[in-house]
Amino acid sequence: MPTTSHPPRYAATRRYRAALAAAASLLLPLMTAAPAVADNPADGKGAPKTPPPRMSTVGGELLGRPGPQVQLGPGAPQLPQGLSGRSWLVADAESGEILAANNAHWRLPPASTLKMLFADTVLPKLPRDKVHKVVPTDLEGMGAGSSAVGLHEGSSYTVHDLWLGVFLRSGNDAVRTLATMNGGIPQTVKDMQAHADELQAADTHVVSPDGYDEEGQVSSAYDLTLFARSGLQKADFREYCSTVTAQFPDEEKKGEKRTSSTIVNTNRLLTGQGVPAYKGMAGVKNGSTTNAGNTFTGVAQHDGRKLLVTVMNPEKSEQYEVYTETAKLLDWGFEAAGHVKPVGMLVPPKGTAGKSGDGSGRPSADRTQASVAGSGGGMWTAVGIAGGALAALAVAGFIVHRRHPLPDLVRKKR
């Protein structure tokens, strides 16, 4: 895969400061839930043009302020020029430090980036080798113009196939089929909302599992970043979100050998289609709807540092603008790391605050990593997380086992 983006000048990778946990604990009094009704809400019928004057302060007081928030230190580069995203955020995927943000808690329609929450919620519940035969009711209720991987009624697919359809093609047909296997759409929405609440994603209100425009369905750049970070704990989530191409089963026809077709990931910073592929990109999810505009959360690694960037609804009309602005923010983040004071933190899930893995000071892989059955000879683990996973480490956030560097090439599923 071509990697034509060039990394900027990077600051030397910092060792974690011993005071990180203490600093994070100072933010706890600020972690107040978002109001049930925002002052200037985006209610799923289209986003307002200006952010509300006050927003949630989960993760830090500065995150509740409208407009760009950054605290530059000596040697820090200025924020990129020309950013038009209504909301964006740059965070260290390991420490949880937020390097800069703009309207981080603005509640906006999320589009298919909400599928990260869907996957993080449902993926561990269904064995990947389980087979499901699609029936008409599985595909009922799909919105007009929905993205689809192309499921056929009467044809059978493995759960593994369906997740490829979700991550690579953003298939609402695959989402709804998996939701049916999870007990139905209402149950899945309920499960997703409960999981969002556990992750302290207080800006998020789930109405549909696929992110299709629905009245009242909102999230934020902060919450979407939490979903990505939580999902990346799971080896199978990392596998799917980093897969560039895969073979997807065609319709089953009686008396004929079943064929398959190649599907390609819609994450253009991963594939290099239409925009330069971003060096070190390893997922996560893009989206686009009428109300949400274009949304994207991406994770990338350079020189051992791993960053998460979320951009929501760029106002510029240039094609692929959401990817252009994400690449700019990643470049800035890799250069600025170590030269800026964090403006906030990505909070840990409620159940992990004050805990440190198995009590020995080591994260517990059993609690944080989903099992992957039948993965074959080896697993490419996104953002250099090998053998273990992102794991909660007290209130300081998450830490990543650093055993192997990120491969130059992302996974091509056979």
Strands 97-102 and 68-72 turn out to be antiparallel
Among 170, 208, 230, 242, the one annotated catalytic: 170
pLDDT of 8 over the 90 cut: no
pLDDT of residue 249: 98
318-365 tens-digit pLDDT: 999 999 999 999 999 999 999 999 999 999 999 875 554 333 333 333
| 296: amino acid identity, one letter | F
Contact indicator for 302, 317 with CB cutoff of 8 Å: no
Please state whether beta strands 305-314 and 85-92 pair in parallel, antiparallel, or not at all (unpaired). antiparallel
213-245 pLDDT, tens digit per residue, is 999 999 999 999 999 999 999 999 999 999 999
* Tokens read off for 144: 């007009």
Residue corresponding to tokens 């999320």: 110
User: What CA–CA distance (Å, rounded) separates 153 from 176?
Assistant: 13
What is residue 353's predicted lDDT score, i.e. its pLDDT? 57
Instruction: Indicate if 112 belongs to the active site.
Output: yes
- Give the whole-number percent of the chain exceeding pLDDT 70: 73
The whole-chain average pLDDT of the chain stands at 80
CB count within 10 Å of CB 267 equals: 28
Interval 135-178: pLDDT, tens: 999 998 888 889 999 999 999 999 999 999 999 999 999 999 99
Quick one: which of 15, 237, 220 has its CA closest to 101? 220
Kindly name the residue from 56, 115, 234, 355 that is annotated as catalytic. Answer: 115
Poorest-pLDDT segment among 46-55, 85-94, 221-230: 46-55
pLDDT at 191 over 70: yes
Cα torsion through 373, 376, 382, 383, rounded to 10: 110
344: Cβ contacts below 8 Å, ≥ 6 apart: 27, 59, 60, 61, 62, 63, 69, 98, 101, 104
Compute φ and ψ for 126, nearest 5 degrees: -120, 120
d(CA 411, CA 306): 18
Residue 351 confidence (pLDDT): 82
Neighbours of 364 (CB within 10 A): 17
Marked catalytic residue, from 112, 146, 147, 288: 112
Question: Rounded to an integer, what distance in angstroms lies between the CA atom of residue 160 and that of residue 215?
Answer: 31
Using alpha carbons only, give the angle 200, 206, 211 rounded to the nearest 5 degrees.
115
Q: Which residue has the tokens 């493995």?
A: 158
Using CA atoms, how far apart are residues 40 and 394, in angstroms rounded to an integer?
34
Of 206, 212, 215, which Cα lies nearest the Cα of 41?
A: 215
- For tokens 């993965």, what's the residue? 375
